[in-house]
Amino acid sequence: MRKQFTMRPSVYQALLIEARHRQQDLGAVLEDMILTSISRESREALERWRRDMESRPPLEEDPEAMEAIRDLWASYPRLSTLEIGERIGYPYEAVSGAIKRMLQKGDLEPRGHLTSKPKKGV
């Protein structure tokens, strides 16, 4: 899942310094810092989420999720792939791949911004 957030420059600088010290990238440092400092309740909730995700079938073998993609794609043209994934409970990468394949097979109608080029002089 890809999410962006904003942090103060001093916090970013502290992460860079820590990453250099550990000889790791920023993602690894953030992951370690967050996962080692969350509360017991959050850790338990994360474990439940992981078990739930592991018990789910692959997205393209989940007919309800695939139908939900079709419905959301058609009903909410401004909804991003990330938002669709959040609504159906599957990661961005799986949803993005499924949408690409559905578009290639003609199971989804291309959205205007994906297929049309701006007209010159208009």
pLDDT in tens, 38-83: 999 999 999 998 898 888 899 999 999 999 999 999 999 999 999 9
Contact 84, 72 (CB under 8 A): yes
**Over 70: is that where the pLDDT of 2 sits?**
no
How confident is the model at residue 5, as a pLDDT?
83
Other residues' Cβ atoms within 10 Å of the Cβ of residue 98: 24
Distance CA 99, CA 97 (A): 5
Tell whether the torsion through CA atoms of 95, 96, 97 and 103 is positive or negative.
Answer: positive
Q: Residue 22's Cα: distance from chain center in Å?
A: 27
Instruction: Kindly state the tokens that stand for 53.
Output: 């995700």
The closest alpha carbon to 18, from 4, 8, 5, 32, belongs to: 32
For residue 84, what is the enclosing H or E element? helix 81-88
Task: State the average pLDDT over residues 80-96.
Answer: 92
The closest alpha carbon to 1, from 100, 78, 94, belongs to: 94
Residue type, 68: A
